[in-house]
Amino acid sequence: MEQRTDIKSLSLEELTEEITGLGEKAFRAKQLYDWMHVKLSRGFDEMTDLSKAFREKCRERYDYTALEEVRVQQSGLDGTRKFLFGLSDGNVVESVWMKYRHGNSVCISSQVGCRMGCRFCASTLDGLERNLSPSEMLDQVYTITLLTGERVSNVVVMGTGEPLDNFDNLLKFIRLLTDENGLHISQRNVTVSTCGIVPEMYRLADEKLQLTLALSLHAAADGKRKELMPIANRYSIKELMEACAYYFEKTGRRITFEYSLVGGVNDTDEDAARLAALAGPLRCHVNLIPVNPIKERDFVQ
């Protein structure tokens, strides 16, 4: 079966090429783009200033992704909401909405499942199911904006999945999310978290985006990191630090080291000294996170 084009994943340029290819005027593409990325329309039916015939033409040719709200849980403490969304193929993804004084932040997933196998993480238990498309990543931000009725100012790609394992879609997503013709979220308000896929860190640095890159470090020595994160068998901490330095050199953006404190595993004085030695020479931030115990794994806080 011929694969249909996922219309919400197209850049304005690509969309213009598509729409003019159908014999329509270029401004129709801009109208469509506006409906998808500014008015956050959930389907062609809502696009009432486009003719029925044109909408029908689009429906025949293009896939239009939209998420279904499966479940929402709200924290009684700070109003944080956790959403479970259904995708068109029956898979589900989780996104989190957090309200801060400086604006609203959404943490999105980039894959269904994950193949990185970090031992402290529940997302990894069933491995990777599939990558999310750029539109499915956008939809998490768009749907939450619609459901809360509030603008999102920060986006964190730190939910299920390893974003750099879905590099091309991630890049498209970021370009669409930060596009001045769309929601126009500032690149500086986007954070991408990686477990440390070194070649993709170099690729991302070469894109010279103004993102924040957060590195899940979690151990400051190779042996301990290997116990927690299988990716450490592929790339040493030395290689990681070189990639971080390169990222800073290319983008001028400080890396954030994420360090989950796992009781008795990586929280000794020696660990702290090693971490300080790694972080010292680099321009970086260190974020210490207490680990959530998960019953399928054997780590505790």
Q: Which residues bind ligand SF4 (CB under 6 A)?
A: 114, 116-118, 121, 123-124, 160-162, 195, 216
Two tokens, residue 109:
């997933």
Nearer to ligand SF4, 136 or 162 (CB): 162
Q: How far apart are CA 84 and CA 18, in angstroms?
A: 33
As measured in angstroms, the least distance from the Cβ of 110 to ligand SF4 is: 9
- Least separation in angstroms between residue 198's CB and ligand SF4 is 14
Q: Which is nearer to ligand SF4, 134 or 196 (CB)?
A: 196
| Separation CA 145–CA 38 (nearest Å) | 11
CB of 219 to ligand SF4, least distance (A): 13
CB of residue 113 vs ligand SF4: minimum separation in angstroms?
A: 8
Measured distance CA(83)–CA(31) in Å, rounded: 30
For 271, residues 6+ apart whose C-beta sits below 8 A from its C-beta are 219, 220, 221, 224
Q: How far is the CB of 296 from ligand SF4 (least distance, A)?
A: 12
Question: Which DSSP string do the residues of 205-266 spell out, in sequence order?
Answer: HHTT--PEEEEE---SSHHHHHHH-GGGGTS-HHHHHHHHHHHHHHH-PPEEEEEEE-TTTS
Q: Which long-range contacts (CB under 8 A, 24 or more apart) does 166-172 make?
A: 166/110, 166/111, 166/131, 166/132, 167/200, 167/203, 167/204, 169/9, 169/110, 169/131, 169/132, 169/133, 169/134, 169/137, 170/110, 170/134, 170/137, 171/207, 172/9, 172/11, 172/134
Question: Which of residues 86 and 230 has its CB atom nearest to ligand SF4 in the complex?
Answer: 230
Nearer to ligand SF4, 121 or 152 (CB): 121
Smallest separation, CB 258 to ligand SF4 (Å): 9
**Residue with Cβ nearer ligand SF4 (10 or 220):** 220
Q: How far apart are CA 266 and CA 58, in angstroms?
A: 54
Give the nearer residue to ligand SF4 in terms of CB position, either 163 or 182: 163
Query: Is the Cβ of residue 205 or residue 228 nearer to ligand SF4 in the bound state?
Result: 228
CB 225 to ligand SF4: min, Å: 12
